[in-house]
């Protein structure tokens, strides 16, 4: 094992701790990179109805434009996290941002939905790198006791990118001389700025280990997860839930994942070390992250469609309607992070976040085509406040409870399972939405349903071209179907709260990841 820089001993480490000024400088590039990678997932939300109309797509394609990016991000997060323990973190982050630029350019110039979906996969691979590596780099520089302050800022950036993206997308779509293609091109200059900032400000020791990346395990995890996600997005409208397609895809996915577990249990350097889940905090945080991902991403990604189709709002107005969630998440994430750093206690914020998020999901399950804008804003603010207190602090709790040499894989594992939950949520709940829209429109409109824009393979409706009686039926159907998605999310969020309640609070460590690693090495060398 060799390293490009001397490792401080445990007693020297505090004196060499990265200054707050240098931390903030390094975080500037990370925050810009995180913002654009999250923006890639969300900026198209309000543009999707227009994109689908212009490119002659279907409700299934609507779901896949979102799912393909999430799927690629989910599948590659563990590999990025493992490589962060082996290679230069700075180089890896810059590589992931470079992939994002390539995907964005392809998407912005796409001639059809097929190439658009491919470009989203490229964007997703890059976003997977940023998702895994940003928190790994933070943990390397900052002690858990101080991490709350910075994690709160990152949570705010994550929240702004997640929920403000639709606002930016709506404005771009409604600006005649720009259009929906700029939803993808918009992030390119910001990404280039992030690459330059990281080159100038991020300086971490490069630790090289004489080990190999478990590419077989990475391949099996990717194939297994992808197979199950493809099934969850296609079942119900491409083929019946109880068909042989279901048996083949589910059975095949489970077998491949079981083989992945077997390979990981025997690999010298597994992508996701199974021993991590013997740690109670990591196991429970993982369960909560999956459930939060399913509930939050699965429900909120279809809100923009609800605003535009069920409520008849323009893309810009639909984006403005997302602001209450942005502000709720921004305020709760920032305040919670500051208070955790001040008090050194974090579990109360996890529990409060779980309760508040559960309340928000329950409130949003009551919406319909006549719900007032003010009431919608309140419901979304409640959900945003809960998410802001919960998501980043699950990662903080896990990072605080593992050895320093496992920080990379622990962080990437949590990001992986949260993203997997989100991808499952979008694909599965998207299939539920498409099924409900199709069946209800067929029942209420009969032969007119195909022209009215049902789910499945019918076109997403352009309500501005339809007669008023048909528009009212379509709006009612989409409103009911969207509310049902949040209703499905309620028990999932409740289970996440139960998992959080069983996490045991432990004092936050005062050493950064690099200092803890040096200390662990010193102890190991003395034996």
Residue 3 has φ and ψ, to the nearest 5°, of -140, 150
Q: Which of 62, 344, 53, 65 is nearest to 173 (CA)?
A: 53
Question: Which strand (E) or helix (H) includes residue 114?
Answer: helix 113-141
CA dihedral 372, 374, 378, 384 (to 10 degrees): 100
**Pair of tokens at residue 351:** 């529990």
Strands 2-3 and 207-208: antiparallel
| Residue carrying structure tokens 């973190």 | 89
CA distance 501 to 496: 9
Estimate the share of the chain in helix, then strand, then coil, as percent rounded to the nearest 5: 75, 0, 20
* Residue 12 confidence (pLDDT): 37
- Give the tokens for residue 96: 């992931």
**Are 376 and 512 in contact, with CB atoms under 8 Å apart?**
no
Q: How far apart are CA 57 and CA 53, in angstroms?
A: 6
Residue 520, pLDDT score:
63
Q: Which domains does the chain have, with CATH numbers?
A: 18-204+212-266+280-504 (1.20.1250.20)
What is the four-CA torsion angle of 22, 28, 31, 32, rounded to 10 degrees?
Answer: -160
* pLDDT score recorded for residue 6: 38
273-288 burial, b at 16+ Cβ within 10 Å, e below that, comes to: beebeebebbbbbbbb
Residue-by-residue DSSP string for 186-228: TTHHHHHHHHHHHHHH-----EE-S----HHHHHHHHHHHHHH
> What angle in degrees, to the nearest 10, is found between the helix axes of 113-141 and 373-399?
50
C-beta atoms surrounding 325 within 10 Å: 28
61 Cβ contact list (under 8 Å, min separation 6)? 52, 55, 113, 117
What string of pLDDT tens digits covers the 527 residues of the chain? Answer: 333 333 444 333 443 445 667 777 777 778 887 787 777 667 776 677 778 778 876 666 766 777 777 778 777 877 787 777 777 778 888 898 899 889 889 988 888 888 888 888 898 888 888 877 877 777 777 776 676 667 667 766 766 676 667 777 778 887 778 888 888 888 888 888 888 888 887 776 655 555 566 778 878 887 887 788 778 767 766 777 778 888 899 999 999 999 988 988 887 777 777 888 888 888 999 888 888 877 767 666 778 778 878 888 877 777 778 778 878 887 888 888 788 878 878 888 889 999 999 999 999 989 887 888 889 899 989 988 888 888 778 888 888 887 777 777 787 778 778 777 777 777 777 777 877 887 777 777 765 555 444 334 445 566 666 777 877 888 888 888 888 888 888 898 899 899 999 988 887 766 655 666 666 666 666 76
CB atoms < 10 A from the CB of 118, how many?
Answer: 15
pLDDT of residue 2: 38
Q: What is the pLDDT of residue 519?
A: 67
User: Which pLDDT does position 256 carry in this prediction?
Assistant: 92
Question: What is the predicted pLDDT for the residue at 524?
Answer: 64
Instruction: Residue 383: name the closest of 489, 502, 307 by CA.
Output: 489
- Rounded to an integer, what distance in angstroms lies between the CA atom of residue 142 and that of residue 243? 51
pTM of the model: 0.71
If one counts every other C-beta atom within 10 angstroms of the C-beta of residue 265, the result is 12
């Amino acid at each position: 094992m060799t390293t490009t820089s001397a490792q401080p001993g445990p007693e020297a480490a505090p004196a060499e701790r990265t200054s707050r000024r240098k931390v903030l400088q390094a975080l500037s590039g990370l925050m810009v990179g995180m913002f654009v990678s999250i923006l890639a997932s969300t900026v198209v939300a309000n543009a999707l109805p227009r994109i689908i109309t212009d490119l002659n797509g279907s409700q299934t394609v609507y779901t896949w434009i979102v799912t393909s990016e999430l799927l690629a991000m989910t599948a590659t997060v563990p590999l990025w996290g493992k490589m962060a323990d082996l290679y230069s973190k700075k180089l890896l982050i810059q590589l992931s941002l470079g992939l994002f630029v390539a995907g964005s350019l392809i998407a912005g110039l796409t001639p059809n939905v097929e190439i658009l979906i491919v470009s989203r996969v490229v964007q997703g691979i890059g976003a997977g790198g940023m998702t895994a590596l940003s928190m790994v780099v933070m943990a390397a520089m900052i002690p858990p006791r101080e991490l709350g302050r910075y994690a709160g800022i990152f949570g705010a950036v994550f929240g702004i990118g997640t929920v403000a993206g639709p606002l930016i997308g709506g404005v771009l779509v409604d600006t005649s001389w720009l259009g929906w293609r700029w939803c993808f091109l918009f992030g390119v200059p910001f990404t280039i700025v992030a690459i330059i900032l990281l080159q100038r400000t991020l300086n971490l020791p490069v630790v090289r280990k004489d080990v190999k990346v478990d590419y077989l395990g990475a391949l099996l995890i990717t194939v297994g997860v992808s197979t199950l996600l493809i099934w969850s997005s296609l079942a119900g409208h491409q083929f019946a839930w109880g068909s042989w397609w279901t048996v083949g895809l589910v059975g095949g996915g489970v077998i491949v994942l079981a083989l992945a577990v077997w390979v990981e249990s025997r690999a010298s350097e597994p992508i996701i070390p199974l021993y991590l889940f013997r740690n109670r905090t990591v196991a429970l945080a993982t369960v909560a992250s999956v459930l939060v991902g399913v509930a939050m991403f699965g429900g909120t990604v279809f809100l923009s469609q609800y605003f535009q189709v069920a409520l008849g709002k323009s893309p810009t107005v639909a984006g403005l309607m997302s602001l209450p969630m942005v502000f709720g998440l921004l305020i709760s994430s920032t305040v919670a992070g500051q208070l955790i750093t001040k008090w050194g206690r974090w579990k109360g914020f996890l529990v409060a976040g779980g309760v508040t998020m559960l309340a928000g999901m329950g409130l949003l399950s009551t919406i319909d085509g006549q719900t007032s804008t003010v009431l919608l804003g309140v419901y979304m603010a409640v959900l945003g406040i809960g998410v802001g207190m919960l998501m980043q602090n699950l990662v903080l709790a896990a990072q605080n409870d593992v050895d320093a040499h496992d920080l990379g894989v622990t962080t990437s594992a949590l990001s992986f399972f949260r993203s997997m939950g989100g991808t499952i949520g979008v694909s599965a709940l998207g299939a539920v939405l498409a099924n409900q829209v199709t069946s209800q429109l067929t029942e209420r409109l009969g032969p007119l349903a195909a022209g009215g824009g049902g789910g499945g393979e019918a076109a997403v409706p352009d309500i501005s071209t339809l007669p008023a009686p048909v528009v009212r039926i379509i709006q009612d159907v989409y409103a009911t179907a969207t509310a049902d998605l949040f209703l499905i999310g309620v028990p999932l969020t409740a289970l996440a709260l139960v998992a959080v309640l069983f996490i045991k609070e432990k004092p936050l460590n005062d050493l950064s990841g690099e200092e803890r690693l040096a200390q662990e090495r010193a102890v190991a060398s003395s034996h």
